[in-house]
């Protein structure tokens, strides 16, 4: 293992030890306070272009599981590869022990040529990112690389599939607009009575025959997804149920005429409290996002559906009369609590009602 550096755009330089691939990489440095779930996090396409700091002090000790494919979908990972640009941890454990571990975290990172750095004071680093906001940064091994801002690119086009795929044989035909979907969203649908049509982010789904529309999570600035927003505007003129998660929530807001903005350092953890509007009910949710919907810009026929109890930001929206709703958090979890998975049932109930109207 060799010495490498983490360098931030404000000039901070932190020395540490390299693990995973011995290479340099640049991106946006963000932190997650989730205590477990690195196999899920690293393969979540929403992390594309980001160097991820895990605040949990020991990482790698349960290794990386082996996977099986079901309908060409992994039973474990959230996509078919690692999407983060680099990984920053305090203590890395190459030694691992778990009933389904197949390899070490370092070996897995090597397979995808992703660098890791450990021996970093992640508490100090996280405090800095909280005070100054998410920053650009780089892990430097032998060769220096320029800083890179992923939010200026259309990252969704990089992670969205090239063509249309069909899954399942249920009675409700759902179109999933894949802007970088986590596979657990697909699993959540396939565990229900659904035939799923997975389409690329810029596909004109308005031409398809379907019962309900689903908008996935995805990386980067939602305003980059102009084609999706345009198609969505057509869908909003109709009455077929629409459900969006994370980026999907931001796209629904933009299509409706609302605005989004970049949060100072984002929400990335498995214990984000959200309140269901009109109730005192709180759910603990899994989150991974750097942008949010500006509640004040929501058009008159829309309401905030959930509110983040830490900072009051919008955690979902709902149309006042039509069956359109979204969450900024992840009801599919993976990782994190599964307490809000019932929202998939709520969506399919709305689909059944629409078909029986
Ligand atoms: N998980 C997501 O879908 C993230 C949405 C968006 N890229 C954000 O960072 O806010």
ipTM at complex level:
0.97
The CA–CA distances, whole Å, from 161 to 157, 165, 204 equal 8, 9, 14
Task: Find out whether the beta carbon of 20 lies less than 6 Å from any atom of ligand 1.
Answer: no
Three-state secondary-structure class, residue 222: helix
Are the CB atoms for 317 and 253 separated by under 8 Å?
yes
**Catalytic annotation on 195?**
no
User: How many A from CA of 289 to the centre of ligand 1?
Assistant: 4
Question: What residue spans in the chain does CATH classification 3.50.30.20 cover?
Answer: 3-152
Question: What residue spans in the chain does CATH classification 3.40.50.880 cover?
Answer: 155-355
What residues contact 131, with CB distance under 8 A and at least 6 apart? none
Ligand 1: residue whose CA is nearest its atom 5: 247
- How far is 273 from 285, CA to CA, in rounded Å? 6
What residues contact 15, with CB distance under 8 A and at least 6 apart? 3, 4, 5, 119
Determine whether the annotation assigns residue 288 to a binding site.
yes
Task: Find out whether the beta carbon of 218 lies less than 6 Å from any atom of ligand 1.
Answer: yes
Mean confidence (pLDDT) of the chain: 98
User: How many A from CA of 291 to the centre of ligand 1?
Assistant: 6
Answer yes or no: CATH 2.40.50.140 is held by domain 155-355. no
- Span 3-152: which CATH code? 3.50.30.20
Say whether pLDDT at 72 is over 90: no
User: How many A from CA of 221 to the centre of ligand 1?
Assistant: 7
**Catalytic annotation on 332?**
yes
Are the CB atoms for 236 and 265 separated by under 8 Å?
no
Are the CB atoms for 134 and 30 separated by under 8 Å?
yes
Query: What is the pLDDT confidence band of residue 272, given thresholds at 50, 70 and 90?
Result: very high
Query: What is the pLDDT confidence band of residue 284, given thresholds at 50, 70 and 90?
Result: very high
Determine whether the annotation assigns residue 46 to a binding site.
yes
pLDDT of residue 71: 81
Residue pLDDT, tens place only, 140-199:
999 999 999 999 999 999 999 999 999 999 999 999 999 999 999 999 999 999 999 999
**Residue with the two structure tokens 């649908």:** 189
Task: Find out whether the beta carbon of 219 lies less than 6 Å from any atom of ligand 1.
Answer: yes
pLDDT of residue 174: 98
Residue pLDDT, tens place only, 205-217:
999 999 999 999 9
Q: Which of 246, 289, 314, 319 is catalytic?
A: 246
Q: How many CA atoms lie within 13 A of 34 on its CB side?
A: 25
Residue pLDDT, tens place only, 216-257:
999 999 999 999 999 999 999 999 999 999 999 999 999 999
User: How many A from CA of 186 to the centre of ligand 1?
Assistant: 18
Determine whether the annotation assigns residue 137 to a binding site.
no
Task: Find out whether the beta carbon of 329 lies less than 6 Å from any atom of ligand 1.
Answer: no
**Catalytic annotation on 96?**
no
Number of other residues whose CB lies within 10 A of the CB of residue 216 = 28
**Residue with the two structure tokens 């929202």:** 343
């Amino acid at each position: 293992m060799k010495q490498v550096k983490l360098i931030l755009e404000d000039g901070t330089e932190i020395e540490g030890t390299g693990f995973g691939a011995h290479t340099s990489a640049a991106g946006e440095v963000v932190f997650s306070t989730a205590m477990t779930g690195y196999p899920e996090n690293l393969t979540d396409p929403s992390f594309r272009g980001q160097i991820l700091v895990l605040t949990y002090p020991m990482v790698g000790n349960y290794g990386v599981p082996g996977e099986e494919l079901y309908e060409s979908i992994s039973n474990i990972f959230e996509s078919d590869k690692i999407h983060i640009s680099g990984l920053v941890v305090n203590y890395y454990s190459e030694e691992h022990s778990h009933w389904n571990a197949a390899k070490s975290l370092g070996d897995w990172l090597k397979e995808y040529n992703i660098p890791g750095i450990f021996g970093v004071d992640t508490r100090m680093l996280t405090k800095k990112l909280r005070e100054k906001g998410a920053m650009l940064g780089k892990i430097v091994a032998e060769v220096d690389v320029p800083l890179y801002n992923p939010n200026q690119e259309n990252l969704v086009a990089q992670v969205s599939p090239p063509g249309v795929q069909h899954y399942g044989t249920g009675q409700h035909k759902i179109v999933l607009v894949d802007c970088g979907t986590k596979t657990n969203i697909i699993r959540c649908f396939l565990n229900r009575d659904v035939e799923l049509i997975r389409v690329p982010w810029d596909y004109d789904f308005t031409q398809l025959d379907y019962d309900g529309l689903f908008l996935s999570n995805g990386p980067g600035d939602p305003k980059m997804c102009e084609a999706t927003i345009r198609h969505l505007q057509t869908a909003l003129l109709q009455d077929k149920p629409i459900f969006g998660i994370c980026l999907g929530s931001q796209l629904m807001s933009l299509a409706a005429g609302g605005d989004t903005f970049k949060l100072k350092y984002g929400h990335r953890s498995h214990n984000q409290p959200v309140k269901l509007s009109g109730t005192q009910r709180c759910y603990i949710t899994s989150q991974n996002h750097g942008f949010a919907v500006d509640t004040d810009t929501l058009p008159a026929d829309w309401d905030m559906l959930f509110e983040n109890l830490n900072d009051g930001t919008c955690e979902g929206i709902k149309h006042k009369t039509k069956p359109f709703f979204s969450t900024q958090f992840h009801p599919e979890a993976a990782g994190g609590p599964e307490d809000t998975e019932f929202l998939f049932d709520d969506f399919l109930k709305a689909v059944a009602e629409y078909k029986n109207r």
